[in-house]
Amino acid sequence: MANTLLIKNGVIVTLGEHNKVLRDHAILCEGGKIMKIGRTKDFKGKFGKVIDARGKVIMPGFINAHMHFYSTMARGLGKAAPSRNFQEVLENLWWRLDKKLTVAGSYYSALIPLIGAIRAGTTTLIDHHASPFAVKGSLKAIEKAVRETGLRACLCYELSDRNGKKISEEGLEENTEFIKYAHALSDNQIKAMFGLHASFTVTDATLEEAAYRGHSLKAGFHIHTAESQSDQLYAEAHYRMRVVERLEKFGILGPKSIAAHCVHINEKEMDILHRTHTPVAHNPQSNANNAVGIADIVRMMKKGVLVGLGTDAMTVNMMEEVRAGVWLQHLKNDPSIGFMEPVIALLVNNAEIANRHFTGLGVLKEGWAADIILIDYFSPTPFEADNFFGHLVFGLSQSQVDTTIAAGRVLMENKKLKLDLDEEAIAKKSAELAKKLWSRF
């Protein structure tokens, strides 16, 4: 069994519909999948590689439901004017930054957070990219970074009319061609969606064309949805309907789509999201940072909306994000409300969202993907399936990810990357590109 990987001596947390905490069990991986989970004593013979997980929790790799790799180039940038509201944040920072990105910049700005994701135990990311003056080929540049790191990603280009018709048409083409390409690959590492920026930056004509292309390709749509109240005000003033109503009118919603944020939606819009089986990606740290509000995910989930957890590029550490999600739901409600919802979003719902594009993610189960992480943890209190959420938020989140495995490939072990990548050289090249970008900012 030369190509096998055996992980033993840790505490296995399976997650899934019937979460189990298993001791004295081991996991055998082969061909990128979990072949067997059983008692350690039943695994005999020689294996290609054996990982001793003593003192560690073994669990599925984390999934990030909404990410922007390209934001890497903003790290440390001090040139943006102070912004008093979300529209100014876009105009003073993000829409100035994305215009200066090159295809090479898109590649390096993806590679850096992907390496960070390995260190944080995040094995699948759903990204939303923008580089309006370097549209063509940008998604394949990001794909190259994803493949070099061994992680999984679902990619799209952020279509918008804010930079004129020519660039809008390029965005339509980049989405269309990459979706076709990803479908033809038919692998379980790279998937594609049809990206849209937001209702207030996409005209009816562009929305109609995107919907036609997306439906023809059987693709879902990934769009910022009522992130700020200004998005709703624009929709009501220009289209005499609310944001979610407009997206439904054009057929943008659905099981394979993602409505990111949904901070400023009302109950009717929640009902539409539930009826259309449209997932929401909640991004608590970003919403707090941009002062747009706190999404009412408690009410959404009570109504049956599938709410997942993203980071909107604030971090690639999902344990950091889930903690912020809990604190902010408490702040919005009271300390007795909003603990379970962010954790379910991360550990349960993100898997359901991802598996509408990929297969076999988010659960340690025979036949499913061998996306596995090991986290240092000696539990100081009883540790069982029914109190795992508490251990994650208050214990595991304060520990280090020791090992990250994606599709059975060990990407990091003993906290050291196992990739053929020079992290120092990558950071140096990225800094050179960022310096040039900043000079054009």
d(CA 58, CA 21): 10
Do both 33 and 54 map to the same domain? yes
Residue 26 resides in a domain:
yes
CA 265 to chain centre: 22
Residue 206 resides in a domain:
yes
Please list the alpha-helical segments (H only) found in 60-137: 86-89, 95-100, 103-120
Residue 425 resides in a domain:
no
Q: Write b or e for each residue in 50-63: b if 16 or more Cβ atoms lie within 10 A of its Cβ, otherwise e.
A: ebebeebbbbbbbb
Do both 178 and 265 map to the same domain? yes
> What pLDDT shows up at residue 79?
79
Summarize pLDDT for 53-97 with one digit per residue, the tens: 999 999 999 999 999 999 999 999 987 889 999 999 999 999 999
pTM: 0.98
Do both 26 and 98 map to the same domain? no
Do both 86 and 186 map to the same domain? yes
Q: Which ranges of the chain have pLDDT less than 70?
A: 2
| Residue 392 domain boundaries | 5-60+364-415
Given a contact cutoff of 8 angstroms between Cβ atoms, the answer to whether 430 and 112 are in contact is yes
Tokens representing 100 are 């200066």
> What pLDDT shows up at residue 253?
98
β-bridge partners, 358: none
d(CA 69, CA 313): 7
Please list the alpha-helical segments (H only) found in 257-296: 267-275, 284-289
d(CA 283, CA 258): 12
Do both 51 and 83 map to the same domain? no
In the chain, the percentage of residues whose pLDDT exceeds 90 is 97
Is 208 exposed, middle or buried, given 0-12, 13-18 or 19+ CB atoms closer than 10 A? middle
Q: Helices 165-185 and 138-149 sit at what angle, rounded to 10 degrees?
A: 40
d(CA 122, CA 127): 13
Given a contact cutoff of 8 angstroms between Cβ atoms, the answer to whether 68 and 313 are in contact is yes
d(CA 328, CA 36): 39
**CATH code (residue 410):** 2.30.40.10
> What pLDDT shows up at residue 441?
86
| Cα separation values, 311 from 314, 325, 330, Å | 5, 10, 19
Residue 430 resides in a domain:
no
Given a contact cutoff of 8 angstroms between Cβ atoms, the answer to whether 73 and 433 are in contact is yes
Tokens representing 350 are 């993100």
| Domain boundary, last residue among 307, 331, 354 | 354
**CATH code (residue 251):** 3.20.20.140
CA dihedral sign of residues 142, 148, 151, 152: positive
> What pLDDT shows up at residue 2?
66
Cα three-residue angle 141-143-148, rounded to 5 degrees: 100
Do both 243 and 212 map to the same domain? yes
Do both 10 and 154 map to the same domain? no
CA dihedral sign of residues 109, 225, 188, 132: negative
Helix (H) or strand (E) holding 331: helix 318-332
Do both 117 and 37 map to the same domain? no
| Cα separation values, 211 from 117, 120, 207, 217, 253, Å | 32, 35, 6, 10, 10
Do both 177 and 46 map to the same domain? no
Do both 89 and 219 map to the same domain? yes
Do both 102 and 219 map to the same domain? yes
As for how many domains the chain has, the answer is 2
